[in-house]
Copies of this chain bind each other. A is one copy, B any other.
């Protein structure tokens, strides 16, 4: 891990934490004192399957995906992480056990990385960070997970795809389509068909 002047990222770190709950300047300084900056190239593996996670990261720039592999080596996608997202294998870090999934850099990334144990101890010791952590768990692990479940049940695949590319313009240039497909709960073939139909429709409209 490279030692970079993390102070440059202070405003960004404040913004990420304050999205969840108000954080004191003192807590931000404590976080900054234990953070490190990492620059990772496209194709880098931030965490391998079977490796025990010792860190948690904030993605400053770039894109990272997580995926499982089944016994046959088929890839099952889990998540897409973009700027401002908190990235890690939380279960592995929490339980100090090998991660079930990998984290792969799919676009050159800059990360602010924290030692997980120290980060968790800091949360336990600072009441504002404890409130941030509760809000983070509720938002990212309860509310957002249900939103995704509901969308898979209630929306057609095409609608989910259109919502996704509207929310994240230019995403198709950044994330390989196989990850976008499984993020939407469909196969890459289904995604190709949806994209083709939309293209045909839009070129007909422009004739």
Contacts and interface: CB of A to CB of B under 8 A. Distances in A.
A138 interface: yes
Contacts of A134: 130, 133-134, 137
Nearest to A89: B146
A76 interface: yes
Residues of A contacting B: mostly: helix
* Interface size of A as a range: 20 to 34
A153 B100 CA distance: 10
B100 A146 contact: yes
A142 interface: yes
A162 interface: no
Copies of the chain in the assembly:
2
B153 A68 contact: yes
A154 B90 contact: no
A78 interface: yes
Contacts of A154: 68, 70-71, 100
B150 A100 contact: yes
A143 interface: yes
A162 to B, nearest CB: 17
Contacts of A78: 149
A142 B143 contact: no
A97 to B, nearest CB: 10
